[in-house]
Chains A and B, each alone.
Chain A
Amino acid sequence: MTTDRIPVIPRGVRRHHDAVRGREVLLGPERALMLDDTAVAILAAVDGTRSLGDIAGHLSAAYNAPRDVIEPDVVAFLDGLADQMLIAYA
């Protein structure tokens, strides 16, 4: 699978700050996914224009981390959400 696919957060799925638990969550149909810092950073970079590769590049620059380490994590995380229909590819 290529990294030029563009992930989008579909209608019916949204991020939410859970003030009671002090965490960020991703809410979708019958799903409430507690997000760690990495997940929050990746989802924040999903803007409907960046491709998977762009997101990896963006996070690599922002966190000063090697892109070849970051990219597989980005792809695995977002593909995992896509399997649950919490992410769509444009």
Chain B
Amino acid sequence: MPDTSHTLIQPPIAMLAELTHRCPLACPYCSNPLEMTQKGAELDTDTWLRAFREAAEMGVLQIHLSGGEPVSRRDIVDLARGAREAGLYVNLITSGIGLTEKRLQALEPFVDHIQLSLQGITAAVADRIGGYDGGFDRKMHVAELIGQMGFPLTLNAVMHRHNLDDLPATLDMALRLGARRIEIACVQFQGWALKNRAMLQPSRDQVNEAKRIVAEARKALKGRLAIDFVPPDYYADYPKACMGGGWGSTGLNIAPDGKVLPCHAAETIPSLTFQTIAEASLRDIWYDSPAFNAFRGTDWMPDLCKTCDRRDIDFGGCRCQAMAIAGDPAATDPVCRKSPHRALVDAALDIDVVDGPQPEFIYRRL
């Protein structure tokens, strides 16, 4: 275990609180793990509130209240209030399903910002992806309420083969709904998305067109709409940094049962053991736990990454992707052009895109 004299480990900036795995939608790319937590095993209100206070005391500035669908928690208003009272910037990440005008008004004093997921811009596409008939209409109703209340809004559009061609209309929808920000997040292939990769992987032509549209829209919509674009990994030459700044550098995640994770997919790495907030303080877990220290710094890296001039840009990329594709969480992210496993990524693109999709989605169900 590395020396934990804390001098090099910075406090986290953001925390993702996965309040529940329950969700009315069943999106086949859900970022929740394949093995989900049942309602009875979810943390209670007081334990969450303690976690929020501990987070704020150790330097977390922003809390993302997420899920599953966070408003499936009956205590969502109490949780939002507790997070705000702890001094955190409160971001509610929701599908909108389950939000009413009354509930939005109850949340308004405590929630700084709402991030609304978007499965598609028509009911036909969105309800097929979400696996929930009528979901799109309900979401649009909630989006109107959010707009009328003047709630700061980001649209989170998850993009893939079935909706990437609708990108211009997706940007139009963001403007129409009064969003100040949109995330164009191409599906990242972990967990459920990995199971459905052959249905979701966009084509190279789709990706190139999306990049062109984003570049143009960023210029044209400057000062009206901020656009964050998460390009699809498999078409990239170099990997993305884990959590923006490397494993255990800027953010952490608490699962519905209280497990504290370096990212939402970290449980796919079987060699790691994760503590819960019942077992240890957030501070101890962040600074001293073997799981959080496993891929910090550069000691764990293969020589390829250690000696690379991009070492301090992408930090070897995603550990969960290395696990998923190369079977080794300490390998170079196989997306990297220099990785000895890159051929596996190219082969996957051939199978998924050239040979054609699988017959149906495998929906995410609790």
Footprint of B on A, CB under 8 Å? 10-14, 16, 18, 20-21, 25, 27-30, 32, 82-85, 89
| A-binding segment of B32-40, B56-64, B310-318 | B56-64
Taking the closest CB of chain A, its distance from the CB of B43, in whole angstroms, is 24
* 6 tightest A-B CB contacts, nearest first: A12-B152, A20-B59, A27-B89, A85-B226, A85-B180, A12-B113
* Interface membership of B290, Cβ < 8 A: no
Nearest neighbor of A84 in chain B, beta-carbon distance: B226
Binding site for A on B (CB under 8 A): 11, 13-14, 57-59, 61-62, 87, 89, 91, 112-113, 115, 150-152, 154, 180-181, 222-223, 225-226, 228
Asked if A29 and B154 make an inter-chain contact with CB atoms under 8 angstroms apart, the answer reads: yes
Docked CA distance A13–B112 (Å): 8
Using CB atoms, name the residue of chain B closest to A18. Answer: B61
| 6 residue pairs bridging A and B, Cβ less than 8 Å apart | A12-B112, A12-B152, A13-B152, A21-B11, A29-B154, A85-B225
Q: Check A29/B113 contact, CB under 8 A, given A11-B152, A82-B223.
A: yes
Q: Which of B14, B62, B222 contacts A83 (CB 8 A)?
A: B222
Q: Which residues of B contact A29 (CB under 8 A)?
A: 91, 113, 115, 152, 154, 180-181
Partner of B89 from the list A10, A16, A21, A85 (CB cut-off 8 Å) is A16
B113 touches A21 (CB 8 A): no
A29-B115, A30-B91, A32-B13 given; 15 more Cβ-contact pairs under 8 Å: A10-B152, A11-B150, A11-B151, A12-B113, A20-B11, A27-B62, A29-B113, A29-B152, A29-B180, A30-B154, A32-B62, A82-B223, A83-B222, A83-B223, A85-B226
CA distance A27 to B180 in the complex (A): 15
Contacts of A32 in B (CB 8 A): 13-14, 61-62, 89
Cβ distance B85 to chain A, nearest Cβ, rounded Å = 14
